A and B are shown apart, each in its own frame.
Chain A
């Protein structure tokens, strides 16, 4: 409860939470407000925002409702962000926990692999993965998770290195607990707070990565994604710049919300070390 109070006292963190709740509300209300397929024809193409009261954000060059695409896009961004983050965190924790707990050869090998992933520009790796496995939404999400775990692994490993020789761990060993139980039930809960805070960074980057892929036409074209809409608006940038501008603002607000919440959590967890979130 102290944590919640400390979090709520921070205006930036509060703003982040409000933004995130707003995006969540937009995502949940999409099928209620726009029962039609967001990628179907809604009216005359390239109507400016506020020109037509029925299509209040206007239409794109194919005559699709921009507002509907924004609302459904929120679902895609949040879903991809959450699932990809979950995948990245799971891989990162598994790799980091084993490397940090056992040390030695396991550590050496796992850290080499982590280093290999970090040496490779992650967007390039993402391109390769999408080229190989296709660009359905599921493969894109898994691919984003697969390129985002190394930093999580390093963070978890560092936590495990400091925790593995503490007295409570030694006590567990004396009690005859198995390794798996010590790792999962004893050390992991103590190592988790910084990892959870870092998850916000992973999620922010995941949302940005998906939008960049969609912008390059390498993500799923059959889904109303903000990046797709920005890419579609490129052809009419000269005169109808709003087609690209509106979804960009949506991405900005979402990622801003995620980052602010992460920072707020960090500040609330470490009140004395303000704003030390790694990036």
Chain B
């Protein structure tokens, strides 16, 4: 119960942060040369100034910056993100259409990198300074140093073009007419390369933290006690050390949530996935400010939600945190 209160308090503390982000971004976008109407007019192949003025009035762009900011924040409170000028639909609808793809991509990448990092980190820590440790640590560094989009492109070359095992891009077979399980399998096949691409970069960080955390925990007194009881090494690692060593890993999930979303911009662009990241890229190119602000708002909400979940998991992993307060 205490942990829930604690997490809720941290959640409440993130509200001013959110406001700060929105106000800052809104003011930043005021500095942008050209607005949505300019982009629209350019798309229509030019037009007379009267039409432009009318459009500006329609989108509320003729008001002062502060009035626009006030209006924007008030609408956000009601979760009305405005209308996307480029797509001609409410921004909330556009984002809702794209969100599942990104959540699926980031979620599977998170699971892959967390599980892989935990496993490899334990192996490296158990074989400290011998060849498995050297190999894993070196691979981790190499993954960390590689740009994710390059991984993605090379994955396409190898697995899609040379071997023909996996599709090179897209979310599902267009016009396949698949439903139910067949469709889910099709989507999963399309997501293998993108999630691996996104996961590899984070795998490096996770395994490094897991290795360091495992080394620290294994030197603590309670592990020595377990050894003195005559417990086997595997038992000590699984039953005693793992849970304690996982704490920094869970913290990392919260810290990396934003980076993960940022990384999906690039990965979605490489694999032509219709997700939130690509929407952000498109709206930057098309200067669709409403959509861009909407995406940033939703991303910030996601990061805050992930951190709330992290707080709760933290309490479960370490009962002292819940009892301490």
**Contacts from A to B (Cβ < 8 Å):** 112-113, 115-116, 118-133, 204, 208, 211-212, 215-216, 218, 227, 230, 233-234, 237-238, 241, 244-245, 248, 251-256, 259-260, 275-276, 279
Residues of A within 8 A of B157 (CB): 237, 241, 245
**B147 CB to nearest A CB, Å:** 5
Q: Are B31 and A132 in contact (CB under 8 A)?
A: yes
Given contacts A119-B14, A230-B153, contact A215 B266 (CB under 8 A): yes
B67 at the interface (CB under 8 A from A): no
Find chain B residues with CB under 8 A from A119 CB.
Answer: 14, 17-18, 21, 258, 300, 303-304
Contacting residues, chain B, for A124 (C-beta < 8 A): 261-262, 265, 280, 295-296, 299
A251 to chain B, nearest CB (A): 5
Nearest-neighbour CB distance to chain B for A277, whole angstroms, equals 8
Nearest CB on A from B131, distance (A): 14
Report A60 CB to chain B, min CB distance, Å: 14
Query: Does B59 sit within 8 A of A, measured CB to CB?
Result: no
A-B pair count, CB < 8 Å, reads 144
**Cβ of B260: which chain A residues have Cβ within 8 Å of it?**
121
Q: A128-B25, A254-B145 are in contact. List 17 more A-B contacts (CB 8 A).
A: A119-B300, A121-B258, A121-B261, A122-B258, A123-B259, A123-B265, A131-B32, A132-B32, A215-B149, A216-B265, A216-B266, A238-B161, A252-B142, A252-B147, A255-B144, A255-B146, A256-B142
- A126 and B157 alpha carbons, distance in the complex (Å): 29
B146→A121 contact, CB < 8 A:
no
Taking a contact as CB atoms under 8 Å apart, the answer to whether B146 and A251 are in contact is: yes
Contact segment of B82-90, B205-213, B231-239: B205-213
What are the residues of chain B within 8 A of A259 when measuring CB–CB?
Answer: 141, 144-145
Q: Which residue of A lies closest to B257 (CB)?
A: A121
CA distance A259 to B212 in the complex (A): 17
Q: In the complex, what's the smallest C-beta–C-beta distance from B154 to chain A, in angstroms?
A: 7
B159 contacts the other chain (Cβ, under 8 Å)? no
Q: Is B16 an interface residue (CB 8 A)?
A: yes
Chain B residue contacts of A127, Cβ below 8 A: 265, 280-281, 284
Within 8 A of A (CB), among B63-103: none
Residue pair B281, A230 in contact (C-beta under 8 Å): no
Q: Which of B195-217 contact A (CB under 8 A)?
A: 205, 208-209, 211-212
Contact: B150 with A244, CB < 8 Å?
Answer: yes
